[in-house]
Structure 1
Amino acid sequence: MVIVRKIAGLIAGAAVIAAATTFVNAQEVPADTTAPRIAVNQEAKDAATKLDLLQQEIYIAEQQLTWLTLLQQYGDRLHVERVMFPSQKELVPGYIFTPVKLDKSQKHPGLVIVHGAFHGHLDWRFFDLIEYAVSRGYVVIFPDYRGSSGYGDVVYKNDYGITDTADVLNAADYLLKSHPYVDPQRLGIFGHSRGGMVTLLAIERSPKKFKAAVDVAGLTDFVAFMAYKPDFRRMETVVETQFNGKLPSENLGPYMDISPLNHVDDIETPLYVFATTGDRTVPLTLHSGRLIDALRARGKVFESKIYDHAPGDHVFLFGDSDERRDMFERAFDFLGKYLK
């Protein structure tokens, strides 16, 4: 209840500040360039920056509520660690899940689960997937890579296909280093949506690291993504560092570089691709369908399953449906073939 009240208070505060922008023309305070880890000036007085700071506080409170919910619902069945693992020059948040009783004298398979969304994060929709994986004997790491919300400005900063992929690869390394009972020869990866894109980029950029991979409705062509997304999302994306404020028509290279479809030749990891017809977020014909064709043309080791209008379309992974149950069974049978 404390966290809920805090969120309510933060939202009320945000409304007050937003209203104030109508009446106050505050002088903007420039960010402190001597403190590069601070993405937003913590001492700023202008309303826009104060709103940014308040939004981050709301995200942090929401993530704390997720953590408490996780402990309350699954604390008797899962052992959970919150960690800050090194990635490049930053510390990135993550969660490691193991059975409550684990024989650390034996080697166990590991699994990296990668969330999607523009500024997604661990939330309650992933709890049953994580529990399912742990019940199958996996030690799971769930990195909230840079671009995730709930951890402040530095982690929130987005760099599609760059920092997210680096963080996921470093999360895998951290899992092996910090938990020596995880077998490096039995490491898998599982991603949905943007997490599917990162999964594909991870097995393309580090072809030997993972022994099996699962992509669920993953984004494979970033140029196509930018063509059909609404303007507000496109404008949020172009401001990222690698795009330099330019759309693909003005700066095509960086968009091509982070499109997994352009690097299928580099894939060595056995891969299972799941998708559904009717996906309005990552359309089958533009993304997973073309990926399957490219994998087949190159003789890659893969399997695929396309559902017919699965409930929830793009987010069918999270529904209590026959399709989701079938997908779980197929995915973990596939992973088990290579990791058990």
Structure 2
Amino acid sequence: MKEFAVFLSKLKSCCTLLTCAAPLLLIPAHAQDAAPKEGTLDKYINLDAKDTATKLDITNHTLYEQEQRIITLNFHMEYGDRVKLKRVAFASADRTLIPGYVFTPRTMQAGKRYPGLVMVHGGFHERFDWRWFQLVDTAVSKGYVVIFPEYRGSRGYGANHYRNEYGITDTADVLASADYLGKQSYVDPGRLGIIGQSRGGMVTLLAIQKAPDKFKAAVDIVGLTDLVAYMAYKPEYRRLEVAHESAYFKNKLPDENLAAYMEVSPINHVDKINSPLLVLATSNDKIVPLALHTGRLLDALKAKGKTYESHIYDNAPGGHIFMDGDTDDQRDAMKRTFEFVGRYLKP
């Protein structure tokens, strides 16, 4: 069994390197609102392929899908007595179906309309996992309904869903999830909020900039605010992954396509923010450095006269992932988050 576990670990590592070789096709991000022409076809991975690269890619995504099933089963086991989890598929702006999860109280009051929260994960190909369990459970216990969109780029939903579009399809899919949630009979569409961490913080900021009146409150936790800066200090393999997976960036780095990266950098659009915003970060963040991202965001929010609150933790345990810890700083951040959204969404 030990040898088999080592083999699977090595296999997953190999598959990750080969994932980008899969023959995928997504509608270009800048044409999301345009109807596809008759005769335009989608291409899918060949599940009966004989070549090693494609077979490894299929194995990789099969493992991701199985992991996701286990994660949802774990949530059911830990919280199923009080929180109902429902997997949904909602339509994004380009009519692509996006997977997600809706969390509601196990027992709901008939005729009541609950405030809704959109929770946005970060990471390069991350997804719903144990790190969000407590936040979801707390939100539902306080009287919210939660949607967790697995925007394009999330893993666990097949090869075609895996392709990343930083700031484009992720933001479109998150906004579509809010629209979907707001249309449910048990949700008050006038009381929607959004919470995001890391890349999810970036998407949260872009969402409240692109739809200034959709959310009554927003929370950005260690959010990436400047993609140009991000591409300047990241290792070469990550820079190439961001550029090469994206139709929007046209396989080009910022030195060849600067305008595209500036357009999806929230720091450049602070003037469009109307939603009250809570910003949380820590001084020892080595993934999204404080001075480069959150510090500049706070300066811009102040300069533009926006409604916001902030708290910077001093050397929080875990740094960028301090929200994953069972620590005083994590508990304080949870308290601040729900006090802030509660003030505007009134659960």
| TM score, norm. by length of structure 2 | 0.89
Question: C-alpha separation between the residues in 2 aligned to 1:140 and 1:268?
Answer: 22
* Per-residue deviation, residues 252-304 of structure 1 (Å, max 9, x unmatched): 01100100000001000000000000100000001011000000000000000
Shift of 1:331: 1.0
SS in 2 for 1:146: coil
Residue 169 of structure 2 aligns with which residue? 163
How large is the Cα RMSD of the aligned pairs?
2.5
Residue 48 of structure 1 aligns with which residue? 53
Residue 326 of structure 1 aligns with which residue? 332
**Structure 2 CA distance for partners of 1:183 and 1:31, relative to 1, 3 Å:** closer
SS in 2 for 1:214: strand
Instruction: Identify the match of residue 234 of structure 2 among 209, 229, 235.
Output: 229
* Per-residue deviation, residues 19-50 of structure 1 (Å, max 9, x unmatched): xx9xxxxxx99789989444423333221121
Shift of 1:245: 1.4
Residue 335 of structure 1 aligns with which residue? 341
Question: C-alpha separation between the residues in 1 aligned to 2:341 and 2:44?
Answer: 39
Question: C-alpha separation between the residues in 2 aligned to 1:324 and 1:315?
Answer: 10
Shift of 1:105: 1.0
Pair 1:66-2:71 in alignment: yes
| TM score, norm. by length of structure 1 | 0.90
Pair 1:220-2:217 in alignment: no
Q: Is the 8 A contact 1:11 1:58 kept in 2?
A: no
Q: Is the 8 A contact 1:116 1:195 kept in 2?
A: yes
Q: Is the 8 A contact 2:22 2:159 kept in 1?
A: no
Question: C-alpha separation between the residues in 2 aligned to 1:8 and 1:61?
Answer: 15
Residue 314 of structure 1 aligns with which residue? 320
Q: Is the 8 A contact 1:10 1:54 kept in 2?
A: no
Pair 1:11-2:8 in alignment: yes
Segments of structure 2 that go 5 or more residues without pairing to the other structure are 27-38
SS in 2 for 1:120: coil
Question: C-alpha separation between the residues in 1 aligned to 2:305 and 2:173?
Answer: 29
**Structure 2 CA distance for partners of 1:293 and 1:29, relative to 1, 3 Å:** closer
Instruction: Identify the match of residue 156 of structure 2 among 150, 159, 164.
Output: 150
**Structure 2 CA distance for partners of 1:207 and 1:110, relative to 1, 3 Å:** same
Shift of 1:12: 7.8
SS in 2 for 1:250: helix
Residue 129 of structure 1 aligns with which residue? 135
Shift of 1:215: 0.2
Q: Which amino acid counterpart does residue 79 of structure 1 have in structure 2?
A: K
Residue 25 of structure 1 aligns with which residue? none
Query: 1:24-39, aligned counterparts within 5 Å?
Result: 36-39=41-44
**Structure 2 CA distance for partners of 1:66 and 1:29, relative to 1, 3 Å:** closer
Residue 271 of structure 2 aligns with which residue? 265
Q: Is the 8 A contact 1:32 1:41 kept in 2?
A: no
Shift of 1:9: 11
Question: C-alpha separation between the residues in 2 aligned to 1:133 and 1:36?
Answer: 41
Q: Is the 8 A contact 2:103 2:145 kept in 1?
A: yes
SS in 2 for 1:263: helix
Instruction: Identify the match of residue 90 of structure 1 among 89, 96, 118.
Output: 96
Shift of 1:14: 3.8
Residue 310 of structure 2 aligns with which residue? 304
Question: C-alpha separation between the residues in 2 aligned to 1:214 and 1:316?
Answer: 15
Question: C-alpha separation between the residues in 2 aligned to 1:208 and 1:223?
Answer: 27
Question: C-alpha separation between the residues in 1 aligned to 2:252 and 2:10?
Answer: 35
Instruction: Identify the match of residue 250 of structure 1 among 248, 256, 264.
Output: 256
* Per-residue deviation, residues 27-77 of structure 1 (Å, max 9, x unmatched): x99789989444423333221121111111111011011011111111111
Q: Is the 8 A contact 1:62 1:150 kept in 2?
A: yes
Residue 24 of structure 1 aligns with which residue? none
**Structure 2 CA distance for partners of 1:154 and 1:31, relative to 1, 3 Å:** closer
Q: Give the fraction of aligned pairs with identical amino acids, expressed as a percent.
A: 55
Q: Is the 8 A contact 1:29 1:46 kept in 2?
A: no
Equivalenced residues, count: 326
SS in 1 for 2:248: helix
Question: C-alpha separation between the residues in 1 aligned to 2:124 and 2:25?
Answer: 27
Instruction: Identify the match of residue 80 of structure 1 among 69, 80, 85.
Output: 85
Pair 1:176-2:182 in alignment: yes
Segments of structure 1 that go 5 or more residues without pairing to the other structure are 22-27
Question: C-alpha separation between the residues in 2 aligned to 1:307 and 1:229?
Answer: 24
* Per-residue deviation, residues 83-139 of structure 1 (Å, max 9, x unmatched): 111112211111111111111312211000000000010001110010011111100
